[in-house]
Every structure is written in structure tokens, then in C-alpha cells.
Structure 1
Amino acid sequence: MKLKAILLSCVVGAALLLSGCERATVQSGYVGVKVDLYGTDKGVQQQEVGVGKYWLGWNEEIYQFPTFNQLHNYDIPFTFQTSDSMDIKAKVGVEYFVDPSKVTKIFQTYRKGVDEITEINLRQNISDALINHSGKMDINSLAAGGKTQLLEEVTNDLKAKLDPLGIRIVKLSWLNDLDYPQKVKDSINAKIEATQRALLRENEIAQSKAEAQKAIEQARGEAEATTLHAKAEADAIELRGDALRKNPEVLQLEAINKWNGTMPQYMTSGAATPFVSLK
């Protein structure tokens, strides 16, 4: 009877023990950290585990950390301020990955899973860096292209702080245009309109100059063409005159060719008979 009782107790104990256990799977691309949830050693005792399936006790849990690139877009905008007290809002996205050799250190630092770290701790680090660096820029420099510089400075801050912990920042990105105060928007729009009007005026002036230059070139071309034509005619006349002076019989030949054979009806006294000599 005692043996049966002992066996029954063992079976019941094993059943109770197994009823408090569950199985967890660490998938490919992840590294797990097995931790105690309760007692004086809560969150202190950690064991790094690789890909596989594990039985967990009633007070154990595995936190999984992805080792491939994560891209997270924050839906709630970040708010920061420029040096001239202008409030700016913007949505930010972050790309990062977890160093697989430092997942234990990451858990020891934050005592959270990767989702909570991303939503709470990483967001806070981004916000702090934005506030710090935007406070060194005025609204004009920020609106005039300074947002790229701001993002680079924030990224460098995050890399310096989080890379040693094992959270490797790849890049940050603006998810939309910066949301400026209304008076700043009005000023930017007015500046854009003024710039567009100036460009339109410059284009009109350039077009007028081009048309005037075209007319000048056209007139110059016509004048040069007239000059060349007149010179050609003068040269031709000169050549013809020289030829006739050197060959006077050509004139007589041309006159004969054009003569219709009729002698003049009236001639003045002493006038010579034209074209031919009568003997």
C-alpha cells in the first residue's frame, strides 16, 4: 500500500508539475533569453538560448530578440522645439537590428522584450535627441534644408548610445513633411510665391531679350544679305564695263544683233549712220 501511495504521489506531482509547464519555440532569425519571472531573482537569472523548442517552468519565460533588420514607424508624432521657440511635429521611422551576441546585455539593461524596448525606450531616446539638436537650430535654418542635418545628428547620437548595448541603429527617416506652426507655414508659402513670381518675371525678361536678339539678328542678316547682293551687282557691272572697254566691238555686235534692219527715217546734219559704214 505504501508503494502504491508513493507512486500515486509521484504521478500526481508529475502531473501538477507538467500542468504548470509550457513549450516555447525560438524561431530562425531570433535569439532567446530565458528568465525567471518571480521571486527574489526575478529577471536576474538569464540564460541565452538559440533556435529550438524549450519546456518552460511555471515561473519562466523566453524573450525573443530578432537579429534581422527591423523597420518600425511611430504612429504618434514626435514634438520638438527650435531655438526660437517654434514647436515642430513630425513622424519618424527607425531601422535597426539586434546584435545576437548581446541579447543578454540588452535584457539586463531594459528587462523588457524587443517590442516594449522599441515603443518605449527607443522612442524616448529618439525624442531626447530631437529635442537636444533642434534646440540648436532656428526655424529658418530648419525649414531651409536643416531637417536632413537634424536627422543625421540624431542618428549619430543614437548610434553612440545604443550600439554598445547591442541595438544597432541603421537609419532614421522622416515619414512625412515637418508640421510647422501656421504662421511659419504662411511665411514659407509667401516666400515660395514670391520666388515663383520672381522666376516668372525673370523668364519673361529672358524671353523678351531673346525675341529682341532674334529681331536684331534677323535685321543684321537681312542687311548683310542686301550688302552682299549690292556688292555682287557692282562687281558684275564693273566686270562687264571692263570687258566692254577692252572689247568695243562687242557693243557693235550686240547692236547689230538687236537691229531690225530699218534705217533711221530722220537724221540730223552730220550724224553718222548707225552700226554700219556705207561705202
Structure 2
Amino acid sequence: MNRPAVPFTLPKRLGVVGIILAVIGLLLLSIVFGSWYTVDQGERGVKLRYGAVVGIAEPGLNFKIPFVDTVRQISVQNQAIVYERVEAYSKDQQPATLRISVSYRVPEASVEELYSQYGTIDKMVERLISRKVPDEVKNVFGRYTAISAIQDRTKFGMDVNEALKKAVTGPVVVDSVQIEEVIFSDAYEQSIEKRMMAEVEIQTKRQNLETERINAEITVTQAKARADSALAQAQAEAEAIRVRGIAEADAIKARGEALRQNTGIVALTQAEKWNGVLPTTMVPGGTVPFLNVRANTQGE
């Protein structure tokens, strides 16, 4: 016995319609919201249509065709990559391990070229920069001895920077290369330390010798100054004596000349200085000193 067919009820119809409307709504929402996208200020968007590049999107809000267009974000900001262990040999065959950082960026005008040739920044860095760094570092480091690489660290870094910039060509710009660390073997580090200590000792001795030389020059200069002073004083004294002698000789000469011209001045001087007392003792036949009395009688 066959059952009668159950008629399609209204609630079931409404349920199917609701599902269809929901699917359509979701489809419309995906179309609306999938048509707009944003690009950050430090990036550029590579717009693809069925996999082919059709343009570069600038920062801000942009439109694309849903289900047809896709966008790949490429950073144009400055980035850095660090190479921890780059091995190289110096000019004097000393092995070293270097730690190097490379700062780079993708120019805005090269975004399409980068994506077309490499797809991503990482692949570009691997092929253009990472392959060049070891070779360029080895070439430059090989022109320096171990000592000069340390003493001329700034120049060494500048040479590596210039060499890598010339070697890397493509949709990327190498802004700078920094030599962050140079590590030699323990044995060589110890030999450098001993050499530096020896050089410090030599420099100390040189400074001491220079100090002694300066002190000796000061002593000689002071002695010469004292000698010059003593000589000048002696010369001054000799000159004073000479002048006094000349003055005394001139005085004696003048006095002698005066005595010759005035014979009585001697007797006058003796008389002026005689105290009027005669000697108590006289030698027989001697004369009385300072006494020359002329007799003066009347009638003469």
C-alpha cells in the first residue's frame, strides 16, 4: 500500500531561500570587501592579474578586481642582515672570523623588477648580497696584515663597504657595511697581547729617556745661566777695580804733579800734622824733626 506524497511545506521553502540569500550575501560581501586593500607607507604593492604584473600600488587605499587580481607587498624600508661567521685570511696568513652587518633597501622604482626577477626580498638578498659578502670580505681582508686590520679598522671597513657596493648590482641599494667584530685564533691573540705589551714597554722607555734628556737640557741650561751670571759679575767687578785703579793712579799722578810744582806743601803738611811735641830720645848727630828755625836778630 503506497503512502500519499507529503506536500512541500512553507517552512522548508523559507529555510532554503534563507540559505541561498545568505550565500549570496556572503558572496557580495566578499566581492565588496575583497575589492579594497591598503598598502603601508613603508611598502609598495605589486598588483598581479592572473599572475602577471599589471602595476605597482602606492601607499593608501587601493582597488582590485576580486578573484582576478592579487597583491604582493614589498618593503622599501631600510633593512639589515648580519653575517655572524665570515672566515678570511689576512695578508700574513692569519685566519680570522668576522661578524659583518649589511644595511640595504629596495628603491621604489625597482619594486617591479625585484618581484619579476626574484619574487621576494629574501631570495633577492640570498642571490645578490649573501653570495657576494664572503668573497668581497676575503679579497679586502687579504690586502691587510692582521695587525694593520686591527690598527686601521676604520679604513678596512671603508674598503669592504666600497667593494661590496660595487659588487652588488640589481634592484637593491647597499647603504652601508659595518665590520662589527674581527676574531683571531687564541694563540695569535696572545701573541698580539705580548707584542702590544712589549711596544708599551718600549714607548715607556722612550718617554723616560726623553724625560731624562729634557731634564739634562734643563740642568745644562741652568748651569750655563749660572756660569754666565758669575762671569758677568766677575767682569763687572774687574771693570770696577780697573776703573778704581785708573782713578787712583790719576789721583796719585795729579798729587805728584802738585808736589813738584809746590815744594813747600810737604813741609806745610808736616807742620799741620805735628802736635808740637819733640821726641824724648834723639840719635846723636841727628836733626830735630819738623824744626827748621831761622835766627832773626836785630841789625840783620
- The answer, yes or no, to whether TM exceeds 0.5 is yes
> CA offset at residue 199 of structure 1?
0.6
Map of 1:168 onto structure 2? 173
CA distance in 2, matches of 1:238, 1:12: 133
Map of 1:77 onto structure 2? 84
Residue 178 of structure 1 aligns to a residue whose secondary structure is strand
Map of 1:205 onto structure 2? 209
CA distance in 2, matches of 1:90, 1:172: 12
Bigger relative CO (Cα 8 Å, ≥ 6 apart): 1
Residue by residue over 1:108-147, the C-alpha shift from the partner in whole angstroms, topping out at 9 and shown as x without a partner, is: 222114x6755885344323422344345553553453x5
Map of 1:63 onto structure 2? 73
CA distance in 1, matches of 2:210, 2:173: 53
Native 8 Å contact 1:82 1:137 kept in 2: no
Gapped regions of structure 2 (runs ≥ 5): 1-12, 256-272, 293-300
Paired amino acid for 2:203: L
Runs of 4+ in 1 over 6 A off after TM superposition: none
Question: Alpha carbon RMSD of aligned pairs, Å?
Answer: 4.0
Cα pair distance change 1:128/1:51, threshold 3 Å: same
User: How many residues in Structure 1 have an aligned counterpart in Structure 2?
Assistant: 247
Matched, 1:156 2:169: no
Native 8 Å contact 1:79 1:87 kept in 2: no
Map of 2:59 onto structure 1? 51
CA distance in 2, matches of 1:105, 1:192: 52
Native 8 Å contact 2:43 2:73 kept in 1: no
Map of 1:13 onto structure 2? 27
Native 8 Å contact 2:74 2:120 kept in 1: no
Paired amino acid for 2:108: P
Map of 1:34 onto structure 2? 47
Matched, 1:88 2:96: yes
Cα pair distance change 1:63/1:46, threshold 3 Å: farther
Match of 2:200 among 190, 196, 201: 196
Residue by residue over 1:6-32, the C-alpha shift from the partner in whole angstroms, topping out at 9 and shown as x without a partner, is: x9475453245457x385422335433
CA distance in 1, matches of 2:45, 2:142: 40
Paired amino acid for 1:102: S
> CA offset at residue 64 of structure 1?
2.8
CA distance in 2, matches of 1:246, 1:98: 109
Native 8 Å contact 1:34 1:60 kept in 2: yes
Native 8 Å contact 2:39 2:73 kept in 1: no
Paired amino acid for 2:157: L
Paired amino acid for 2:70: E
Percentage of identical aligned residues = 17
The within-5 A match list for 1:94-105 is 94-105=102-113
Native 8 Å contact 1:25 1:51 kept in 2: yes
Paired amino acid for 1:160: K
Paired amino acid for 1:211: N
Native 8 Å contact 1:78 1:127 kept in 2: no
Paired amino acid for 1:188: I
Map of 2:6 onto structure 1? none
CA distance in 2, matches of 1:51, 1:88: 45
Native 8 Å contact 1:26 1:52 kept in 2: yes
Cα pair distance change 1:203/1:278, threshold 3 Å: farther
CA distance in 2, matches of 1:230, 1:13: 123
Cα pair distance change 1:232/1:138, threshold 3 Å: closer
CA distance in 2, matches of 1:197, 1:212: 22
